[in-house]
């Protein structure tokens, strides 16, 4: 029995060590992910980008990129949501408790580790797209404010916010039943103030809006014919942006503004 206790202790010790190692790696990679994607957001849209969907303020661009027969097309979308701040939009995108209320492509979402208040690890199962295999994803999700640039076109004094979700390996998500999607997505949101010369505390939801830039770099993994991936993404990203922004709008009506 002593031997069994010793083995148990070693097991617990190894698990703690592994968790520390993984958390350390996630925390170290967050800064570089955030700065990489903030630079992406600030890039100009040039002729390499194709506008694949437009609906009032919403624009969805895609750049064709196929490597070894896999469609890796980078996606970039922009949108303006009236009546909300960038911080509020990011809060909702990050919030694990409301995700299933706006996500239409998921079968399930589960937090498998809480690293800190602003960093969670998720395992999510995507609804199956017939006739391909069902897919899952394991990712770290991190949210923080972004320091504004000196020459910011809209110097309102309110910082933009960002959420970055990026694939990681995690010992609590080692199921091999599904095809693993690898990705990084970012939701970057600035606050627009339409009424100038008015102190923040006097503004109402009619005076504000949020400018969203959403970027997705996705490798669908497994067998995924590029033509099918392109049809699915062209339909699903605008649907997501529509659903998400109307959810944000409804959820925040008649609530106190969070700057
Ligand atoms: O950003 C979105 N959701 C995040 C929170 O749940 C999540 C997003 C991950 C991006 C994963 C994209 C999945 C695309 C899967 C393509 C597989 C196609 C298979 C077709 C096979 C031929 O962190 C909203 C994402 C909205 C996606 C439309």
pLDDT of res. 151: 61
Distance CA 67, CA 198 (A): 51
Distance from the alpha carbon of residue 52 to the mean position of ligand 1, in angstroms:
17
Is 240 near ligand 1, meaning CB less than 6 Å away? yes
User: Going by CATH, does the domain composed of 2-252 fall within 3.30.530.20?
Assistant: yes
Distance from the alpha carbon of residue 150 to the mean position of ligand 1, in angstroms:
34
- What is the residue whose two structure tokens read 């029995």? 1
Between vectors from CA 170 to CA 95 and to CA 8, what angle results, nearest 5°? 120
Distance from the alpha carbon of residue 31 to the mean position of ligand 1, in angstroms:
23
Distance from the alpha carbon of residue 213 to the mean position of ligand 1, in angstroms:
16
Determine the straight-line distance between the first and last CA of the chain, rounded to whole angstroms. 58
Is 228 near ligand 1, meaning CB less than 6 Å away? yes
Give 234's contacts (C-beta < 8 A, 6+ positions apart).
52, 53, 60, 62
Chain segment 41-57, per-residue pLDDT in tens: 999 999 999 999 999 99
Chain segment 131-155, per-residue pLDDT in tens: 889 999 999 999 999 987 666 655 5
Please tell me the residue having the least CA distance from ligand 1 atom 1: 185
Domain boundaries, the chain: 2-252
pLDDT at 258 > cutoff 90: yes
Mean pLDDT of the chain: 92
Is 129 near ligand 1, meaning CB less than 6 Å away? yes
Share of residues in the chain with pLDDT > 90 (%): 78
Please tell me the residue having the least CA distance from ligand 1 atom 16: 220
Chain segment 73-83, per-residue pLDDT in tens: 999 999 999 99
Query: In DSSP terms, which residues pair with 137 in a beta bridge?
Result: 124
198 or 24, which is more confident: 198
């Amino acid at each position: 029995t002593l031997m069994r206790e010793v083995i148990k202790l070693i097991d617990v010790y190894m698990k703690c060590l592994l968790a520390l190692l993984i958390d350390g790696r996630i925390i170290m990679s967050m800064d570089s992910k955030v700065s990489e994607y903030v630079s992406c957001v600030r890039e100009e849209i040039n002729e390499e980008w194709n506008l694949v969907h437009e609906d009032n303020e919403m624009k969805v661009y895609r750049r064709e990129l196929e490597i070894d027969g896999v469609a890796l097309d980078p996606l970039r979308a922009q949108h303006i949501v009236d009546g909300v701040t960038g911080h509020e939009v990011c809060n909702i995108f990050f919030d694990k408790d409301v995700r299933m209320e706006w996500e239409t492509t998921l079968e399930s979402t589960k937090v498998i580790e809480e690293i800190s208040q602003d960093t969670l690890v998720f395992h999510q199962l995507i609804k199956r797209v017939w006739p391909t295999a069902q897919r899952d994803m394991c990712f770290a999700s991190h949210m923080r404010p972004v320091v504004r640039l000196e020459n910011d076109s809209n110097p309102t004094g309110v910082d933009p916010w960002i959420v970055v979700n990026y694939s990681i390996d995690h010992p609590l998500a080692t199921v091999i039943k599904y095809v693993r999607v690898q990705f990084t997505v970012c939701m970057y949101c600035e606050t627009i103030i339409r009424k100038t010369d008015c102190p923040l505390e006097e503004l109402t939801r009619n005076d504000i809006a949020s400018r969203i830039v959403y970027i997705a770099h996705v490798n669908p993994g497994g067998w995924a014919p590029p033509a099918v991936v392109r049809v699915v993404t062209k339909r699903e990203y605008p649907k997501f942006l529509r659903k998400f922004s109307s959810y944000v709008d409804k959820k925040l009506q008649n609530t106190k503004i969070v700057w």
